[in-house]
Structure 1
């Protein structure tokens, strides 16, 4: 333990490892200051933080969002917001600043990226499980079971933190240069392969869950379309299918953004040290992964009418709302944020009313049986 502690405080260790994998030949580690692409990435990070902060504030200020489904979306939003901070720290402290770090500081900096990645993946899994339980098992979460949801969120963060701190706890390559990663020269290749395996297994589980849900919902949607007196239920079923597609887009964007970096890390595991020059371009692959945290708020909030209204009221209340809480008539009906409840709105809500109910997971068993009788019989 004393030997390991002394290595963690030795600043020459990072220089030794970076020289071994050939990274010191990069001008990034020879020049002071931030390069133009680094400044661009910083601006993206600021936008990530701002976007996700607005979404979290909208969820916190609206009691109608204080339901399990939005708690899970809020947890995903929180992980994206913290990811923005983590990326900023990573960019500001990279380059020549890396060579002035102690190994323990290096592990904490890079571990933050792994923690946020794990939190995002586990949050996506929790959302998929909630959808599956609600629609397939017909056991929606009730208000008195919100403690279980918070426990699930807490456990996801504990697991994410544990996964991220494994290198600082000893799973690294200090003193074992032949086992070191080229992308992360102080990380053991075995640890990186372990993380990729875990993340891939979780993503495959999510895909399996959504395929199962889609098959059931699609089959019942087609059957309801052929029944004339159930056209209203058919529209509701179509609404739920749209919500499922929205969450699936979130999953697809996550895979598209992170897949290049995953492939690069797999190459890092199989490539002998110094043989694959593309491994020295990892910053650009991480930049692509950053886009995921930028797109998530746009996808899973702006595609929801309730969330869109909440964000518009939050950001534009001084210019759109009167003192008594009414919307100013300024010729912008496309904002669709009227606070009055006309008979037309009520009829529309009755016809298309699954937007909030389904997205929050608060369907009653009777509602599910009416829409999906085939499920209830099974």
Structure 2
């Protein structure tokens, strides 16, 4: 966003500068193929999770309802964000108009924050399940889960649409409107104030809470191992094997991996969002776009993680693929993993 670009833009008057076509067709085709495959996996993988949890009665648990809500978030991302971002990334410009740019931008920001809030909620759920198992059925009930889900969706929605529709995120950035109007761009841009707010409120604070909770869960699990070892007189390996078979311990471990993947995917783009306005928006467009897609790919990875670590998802997926879910008795089928 330098002055030379603004002067070039002004020469075109009310006309938009055509989208650049400097990428070879083979490269464009390869990028389209990769991003399209990622989008398809995101859509159908998360759709499989949604159908599994909603259909099978055995999977109706507080934890799974949180996973269901997060899968819905990832599904929406795959349906309404990733396809348009694919075109923007390959064509290097925005072809869908200024108003839809704002809508797309709002949903993009909203769904990212919703994912973080869901992971915080899941971390809290696992904390009570592992650290306070006797209180868990009374603390984490279905009404409590509904309130958590409502919070996870409503607050990010108000935040995202409020910031983007009012243009608060680009206030004080000269030339932003020229980029949108003349160069047909829909850039991911935040001024210094909102880059700080975004990083700390939407990522660093909730991320730190999640890490702290999972560290606590790990410490408590190790304490349980030592206690059982001293009481039962068995080897630590045998006890760890027994504990790892318990559903709550295994779920905590798996969701910890989900959180780790999430942090790996989104940390680079949040750091870039934080630093870019302080570096005079000098981050290369290609790098910023690649890091943004790394964040999107978190929604692609989640159903793959579930499929690898959760036997219930693999069993439920077989019912879905072979059409057994249309059988009336399938709702009561045993798809949960054995202890």
Q: 1:42 to 1:317 in 2, by over 3 A?
A: closer
1:97: how far off?
5.8
Q: Structure 2 regions of 5+ residues with no counterpart?
A: 10-16, 180-184
Compute the displacement of 1:282 (Å). Answer: 1.8
Which of residues 294, 314, 317 in structure 2 aligns to 1:311? 317
1:159 is matched with: 155
Higher RCO structure (Cα 8 Å, ≥6 apart)? 2
Contact kept, 8 Å, 2:88 with 2:94, in 1: the verdict is yes
Matched residue, 1:140: 136
CA displacement 1:65-123 (0-9 Å, x = unmatched): 11111001111111111111211123335647626622x43221112111111111001
**Does 2:169 match 1:172?**
yes
1:124 aligned onto 2:114: no
CA shift, 1:325, in A, is 8.1
Larger Rg: 1
**CA 1:28 to 1:41, structure 2 compared with 1: closer, same or farther past 3 Å?**
farther
| One of 208, 215, 226 as aligned partner of 1:222 | 226
Distance verdict in 2 for CA 1:18–1:71, change over 3 Å: farther
Query: 2: CA distance between counterparts of 1:259 and 1:315?
Result: 35
Other-structure match for 1:252: 260
Counterparts in 2 of 1:51-200, with a 5 A limit?
Answer: 51-85=45-79, 86-92=81-87, 95=91, 98=94, 101-102=97-98, 104-137=99-132, 138-141=134-137, 145-165=141-161, 166-173=163-170, 176-177=173-174, 184=187, 187-198=190-201, 199-200=203-204
* Alpha-carbon separation, structure 1, partners of 2:60 and 2:264: 30
Indicate if the aligned counterparts of 2:269 and 2:292 stay in contact, CA closer than 8 A: yes
SS in 2 for 1:177: coil
Q: TM-score, normalised on structure 2? A: 0.77
Secondary structure of 2:126's aligned partner:
helix
8 Å Cα contact 2:276/2:283 also seen in 1: no
Q: In structure 2, what is the Cα distance between the partners aligned to 1:17 and 1:65? A: 57
Q: 1:193 to 1:219 in 2, by over 3 A?
A: same
Contiguous gaps of at least 5 residues in structure 1: 1-14, 327-338, 341-347, 353-378
Q: Which region of structure 1 is more displaced relative to structure 2, 200-209 or 106-115?
A: 106-115
- Report the count of equivalent residues: 310
| Distance in 1 of aligned mates of 2:142 and 2:4 | 48
8 A Cα contact 2:93 2:186, kept in partner? no
Selected match of 2:251 from 243, 248, 252: 243
Of 34-43 and 227-236, the range deviating more from structure 2: 227-236
Is 1:205 aligned with 2:201?
A: no
RMSD over aligned CA atoms reads 4.0
Partner of 1:295: 301
Q: In 1, are the aligned partners of 2:272 and 2:288 still within 8 Å (CA)? A: yes
Residue 21 to residue 90, structure 1, CA distance change in 2 (3 Å): farther
Query: What do the CA deviations read for 1:5-37 (whole angstroms, capped 9, x no partner)?
Result: xxxxxxxxxx999945999xxx99323999331
Question: Using a 3 Å threshold, how does the CA distance of structure 1 residues 20 and 249 change in structure 2: closer, same or farther?
Answer: farther
Equivalent-residue separation in structure 2 for 1:228 and 1:40 (angstroms): 53
Task: Note if contact 1:87-1:113 (Cα within 8 Å) is conserved in structure 2.
Answer: no
